[in-house]
Amino acid sequence: MRRFITAIIILLLLSNWALAQGNSANAPGHENEKNENKGDKGNNNGKAGETPKRPDDYDDKAAIQVGWAIITLNATTGGSVSLNNLVAFATFGLKRGDETAQAGVLPSDLSVSSLMFVSTNRKLSRNIGIGIANPSTTADAHILMTLHDQDGGPAIGTKQFTVGKGQQTSQFFTSLFADGAVPKDVTGTLSITSDVPVSMIGLRFRGDNFSTIPVTNLSPSSGRGIVIPEFAAGGGWATELVLVNTGSSQVNARIDLFKQDGTPMTVRLNGESKSSFTALVSAGGVFELSPKDGEGQSRF
């Protein structure tokens, strides 16, 4: 159970966790149907007279990839268009048998000071997953976490680490504060400061169930794009990005995916295996980027 929970965060959250705690984070394989027409090659062709099925984007037996995404403007067609015209969000989930557990993720405004709720309990398999992405192309982010209990008294624990430029990290709270100075079961608040604007996400776990929790931005900062601080694919995990254009002109957006080490992350989405995708979003329209099955449908 603990390894399963770990896999969830890494990918969303988040690969360090999958190795740290999981009873088998890999969901059953999603296999293509066998070719029923022996005269055809491949396994995506239907019977004679039927429309051949498209390739399946899902690869549930592949290794889990964890990282982050950034959405920027490529170009615009007419009118005055900016990222303010785009509403973006992500949904990520884990396939378990015939069901998919999922949680919505809103973009995180860049911040140098944030606050989040924490609550852990070993008996109840309760934990908090924390993901931090540093979209800077020039500077590393030096992170300081300070823990206070529910009474708001003096700090009961601190943690310092670095997230390199263009990199991302995802860890459980109990892994970050694994030393004996911090109680294993604790409820309180975690303040997070950085010398470089970063994007953050919080996930609350209770056994196999998980949901996002708010990260309060105490010091908003501007950035070069819309940042999705957690993106996971493979091993039963999948992530969908949705862009909504609220403006009166088409938006030409670019979506780039990166691994935790900051290098491009190639993922099969909308039938294409790439690390960078173009999204043409009509005025008042919607663009979806996600893995699709043989019927052209997303699991979400």
pLDDT digits (tens, 9 = 90+) for 101-127: 788 888 888 999 999 999 999 999 999
CB 131 within 8 A of CB 12: yes
Work out whether strand 286-289 and strand 237-245 pair parallel, antiparallel, or are unpaired.
antiparallel
**pLDDT tens-place string over residues 183-213:** 889 999 999 999 999 999 999 988 777 889 9
**pLDDT tens-place string over residues 124-156:** 999 999 999 999 999 999 999 999 999 988 899
CB 63 within 8 A of CB 235: yes
Q: Spell out the domain ranges in the chain.
A: 2-33+49-289
Mean pLDDT rounded to a whole number for the chain = 81
The reported pLDDT for the residue numbered 84 is 84
The reported pLDDT for the residue numbered 61 is 79
The conformation of residue 33, written as its DSSP 8-state character, comes to: P
Q: Where are the beta strands (DSSP E) in 121-180?
A: 126-133, 141-149, 157-163, 168-172
Listed residue (177, 125, 121) closest to 4, CA to CA? 125
Neighbouring-strand partners of residue 267: 274
Separation CA 135–CA 165 (nearest Å): 7
**pLDDT tens-place string over residues 14-44:** 434 433 344 333 333 333 333 333 333 344 4
Burial class (CB in 10 A: 0-12, 13-18, 19+), 100: middle
Separation CA 260–CA 230 (nearest Å): 10
Query: Which of 155-159, 238-242, 296-300 has the least mean pLDDT?
Result: 296-300
Instruction: Please state the rounded mean pLDDT for residues 165-188.
Output: 92
Instruction: Please state the rounded mean pLDDT for residues 168-191.
Output: 92
Separation CA 146–CA 116 (nearest Å): 11
Instruction: Identify the CATH class of 2-33+49-289.
Output: mainly beta
Instruction: Please state the rounded mean pLDDT for residues 272-277.
Output: 96
Distance of CA 72 to the CA centre of its chain: 17
- How far is residue 172 from each of residues 15, 17, 65, measured CA to CA in Å? 11, 7, 17
Look at residue 4 and tell me whether its pLDDT is greater than 70.
Answer: no
Q: Which residue has the higher pLDDT, 59 or 255?
A: 255
